[in-house]
Amino acid sequence: MAAFLWAQIEDAENITRERLAIWDRYHAMLAPLEQRELLRRPVVPAHCTHNGHLYYVLLPQGTDRDTVIRKLRQAEIQAVFHYVPLHSAPAGMRFGRGHGDLPRTTDLSERLLRLPFWIGLQEAQQQRICDSLGAILGG
């Protein structure tokens, strides 16, 4: 395991460069869908940088994320939800406590959709993902 991780560390600059290229392609390809208010793309503040770890979109309120995931899966595209808020997770409910209902956290977690993302994801594959997502959200 350590040898595998060491190889990644040695190639970290190239890996990060490719991840950022994938991230940038998604961001450009999904701009028209955001302009049509079919989704929201991530926002990276001007004073910040990121490493292209993942790409997500926020679906509009009222959109059933599970239905979108199911339709993408039918097109052989595996997108996933990102997280379950701690205040509503079994361990969080048992061991933690939330201050109030946390409606914003719940809302965002229900609308966040992670798109397929791996080193070697090709532009044509990303275009198919984006076109499929647009077809699902736009009609």
Please report the domains of the chain, with CATH numbers, ordered by start residue.
12-44+51-138 (3.90.1150.10)
Decide: residue 128, CB within 10 A, 0-12 exposed, 13-18 middle, 19+ buried.
middle
What pLDDT does 33 receive?
Answer: 97
3-state SS class at 31: helix
Q: Tokens for 120, please give them.
A: 């070697």
What pLDDT does 89 receive?
Answer: 64
pTM: predicted TM-score of the whole model, two decimal places: 0.86
Q: pLDDT at residue 69 above 70? A: yes
What pLDDT does 85 receive?
Answer: 66
**Which of 29, 57, 45 has its CA nearest to residue 121?**
29
Q: Tokens for 3, please give them.
A: 């040898």
Write down the H helix ranges in the chain.
2-10, 12-35, 65-74, 90-95, 103-111, 123-138
Q: Tokens for 83, please give them.
A: 């997280």
**Which of 29, 3, 128 has its CA nearest to residue 72?**
128
Mean pLDDT lowest among 31-35, 125-129, 135-139: 135-139
What pLDDT does 76 receive?
Answer: 97
Strand order in the sheet with 80-81: 56-58, 112-114, 80-81
